[in-house]
Structure 1
Amino acid sequence: MVELKSVGVVGGGQMGSGIAQLAAMYGLDVHLIDTDPVALSSATKSISASIQRFVSKGQISQAAATDALGRLHCTSNLEELCSSDFIIEAIVESEDVKKKLFINLDKIAKSTAILASNTSSISITRLASATSRPQQVIGMHFMNPPPIMKLVEIVRGADTSDNTFYATKALAERFGKIVICSQDYSGFIVNRILMPMINEAFHALYTGVATKEDIDTGMKLGTNHPMGPLELADFIGLDVCLSIMRVLHAGLGDSKYSPCPLLVQYVDAGRLGKKRGIGVYDYRKLKNHFNEARKSKGALPF
C-alpha cells in the first residue's frame, strides 16, 4: 500500500473545509479546491478559526497550528490536484454534478490516486462508472463537523479494490476516526436511518401533532439525542435532507421514503436552515435576541 502524503479536497463548504482541516492537522499537504473565491476565502477563515479553538483548548500547540495552516493550499485550479495521492470530493449532493467532477478528476489525477466521495447517499458504483479507474473509487462519508465527529462511513462500490479500501480505512484512522463499513445501498447506514426520522418529524409538524419545540424537546429528553430532529435538519441543511430523501425514495422504491410536503415547501421557499438564517427555526431572531441580551447585560444571558 502506497504511503499517502498529499490530499486534495474539492468543495470549500462546511464539509470540504472540515476535511481539509483534518488532513492538514494530521501532517498531510492539502490542496482545497473551490471555483468560488468567496467560498475559498470563507473556508480559509473558518479553518484558521477552528484550528485556533483547538489551541485555546490546549488540544494542540500554537506551533502545530501554524504548521497545519502552512500545509494548506487553497486554489480554484482543479489541475493542482495532479500530484495528490488521495482526492476527496465534497461538493453539492447531486449525482450529475458529482459525475462530471469525477470525469474531470479521472483525467487530472495521477494513475495511482484514489478518488473518494463524501456523498451521504449517492451510489458509489454509479460515480465510479464515470471514471476509467472504478477500482480506485470509494465512499468516505465524514460526519458534520468533520474535525469533531468521530465517525467515518466507508462505502465500497461494486469494483472498489481491497487496496483502495484499506488505504481509505488507514487514512480515516490516521485522522483519529472510528470506521464503519456499508454496502452500496441508497443512504448507506447513517442516513438510511437518520433521514426517515427527520422526515417523520416534518410530518409530525406538518399534520399538527405538536409544535416544533415540543417535537425537538421530546426527542432530546425522551431519547437522549443531543439535538432534536428539526434542529438537526436545520444544522445539516434542509436542501441536503431533501436531496437524500429523494435518493432514498428513488433508490429503494418505497413510499415511506417520500419527502414530506412541508420539507419540500421550505426548500422551495429558500428556508434551508442555519446557513441561510432560517429553516424550521428563524436564526435571525435568535441572533438578534442574543445580541440584545449582550448589549443590555454586558454578558451572556445564560
Structure 2
Amino acid sequence: MVAEWVSFSVIDTERQDWARGWAALKKFTEREHHARVPYGHREGATPLGQWVAEQRRAYGAGQMTGQRAARLEKLGMVWSLVDERFQENLEAAKAYYDLHWTLCAPRSATALDRPVGQWLSNLRRPGALDGHPDWEAALLAVDEDWNTVWPAEWQRHYAALRELVADEQDQTGAADVLPGLTVHGMDIGKWLAKQRTPAVWQALTEGQRERLEAVGVTPPTPARESEAPVASTVPLSAFEKGVAALAQYKARTGSMTVPRGHVERLEDGAEVRLGVFLSNSKSRRAKLTPDKLATLAGLGLEWAAATYSCGELHEGLQA
C-alpha cells in the first residue's frame, strides 16, 4: 500500500507539472503566435524555456508519449530549430521564385525580409546539404535548376525567356523576343541573340542547349564555305577590340567580373588584355564619347550606364 501510494503521488505530480508547462506554452503561443520560446524565458513562475527544451530532449530520446507530442504539435511545437529555420527561408525562396521564376538569385537578393540570395548561395556549397535529403528535395520541387553547373546569371536570363515564351498566346516561341525587350533590368532579346551566334552556342553546355531548344530556340546553321563572309580589311580600333573581347567573355562566362590580368583571345587570334582595358576605360570614363559609353552600358557595365545617364541629363539641362 505504501509503494502504491508513493508511485501514485510521483506520477500524479509529474502529470501536474507537465500540465502546468503545457498551459504556460499555450498562453505564450496565443500571445506570440509561435512556439519558439527562448531558453531563459519564464512565463509567470514557470521556467518555460527550460521546460520546452526538456520536451525536445524527451521527444528526441523516444521518452514522450504520442498523446503529449500531439498536444504540443497543436500548439506549433517545432522539434528541430534547424528545420524550422530552413522552412522559413524556403518560404522566402518560394516568394522570390514567384517573382523571378528561378532560384538562381544573386547574393544580394531578399524576399520576405530575408537574405534569400545569400542563403541559397550557402546551400550550394559542397557538402551543405549532406544529411538533409529532404531539404534538397524541397528545393528541387520549387526549381529543378536551383543549383546549375552553368552561371547563375545565364539561368536568370533563361528563366525570363522561358516565361516570356510561355506567355505568348500565338505560340510563336522565342522568335518574337527581340533586342530591347527587358525583364527585371535584363535585355532578354539581346541576350538571346548572343546565344544564337555559332561561337556562343558551341560554348554552351549540353544542358543549356537543351533548355533553349525546349523553348523554341533553334541552333544556328553553320555557314558553308562558299557563303563565308569576307573578312573586313579595315582593322578594328583598340576600343572595338576591347568591346568585342568583353562581349565574348560575358557570353562565355555569364559574368562581367574580369580579373585585371585576364587576356581574352578573339576568334581572329588577336589577344586583348581585357582586365586592363576595363580598368583604363573606367578610370577615363569622363573622357569617353557618349557612343562609347552607350556601347559599354549596353554590355552591362553599371558605371558606364551611370556616366552616360549623367551626360544625357547634363545635355538636357543645357538645352
Task: Return the TM-score normalized by structure 2.
Answer: 0.29
Q: What's the TM-score, normalizing by structure 1?
A: 0.30
Work out which of the two has the higher radius of gyration on C-alpha atoms and give 1 or 2: 2
Q: Relative contact order (alpha carbons < 8 A, sep ≥ 6): 1 or 2 greater?
A: 1
Larger strand share, 1 or 2: 1
